[in-house]
Amino acid sequence: MGNKTEIAVFGGGCFWCGEAVFERLRGIEKVTSGYAEHAEVIRVEYDPKVISYEQLLSVFFSTHDPTTLNRQGNDVGTQYRSAIFYASEEQKQKAERFIQKLQEENPPAGGENPIVTEVAPLGNFYEAESYHQQYYENNKQAPYCQLVIDPKIQKLQKQYSHLLK
**Mean of the per-residue pLDDT values for the chain?**
93
Total Cβ atoms within 10 A of residue 24: 17
**Tens-place pLDDT, residues 126-165:** 999 999 999 999 999 999 999 999 999 999 999 999 999 9
123 pLDDT above the threshold of 60: yes
User: Which of 14, 31, 41, 56 does the annotation list as catalytic?
Assistant: 14
What's the pLDDT at 109? 65
- Does 14 qualify as catalytic in the annotation? yes
Domain residue limits, the chain: 6-159
Q: For the whole model, what pTM was predicted?
A: 0.93
**Tens-place pLDDT, residues 42-91:** 999 999 999 999 999 999 999 999 999 999 888 899 999 999 999 999 99
According to CATH, the topology of domain 6-159 is Peptide Methionine Sulfoxide Reductase; Chain A (3.30.1060)
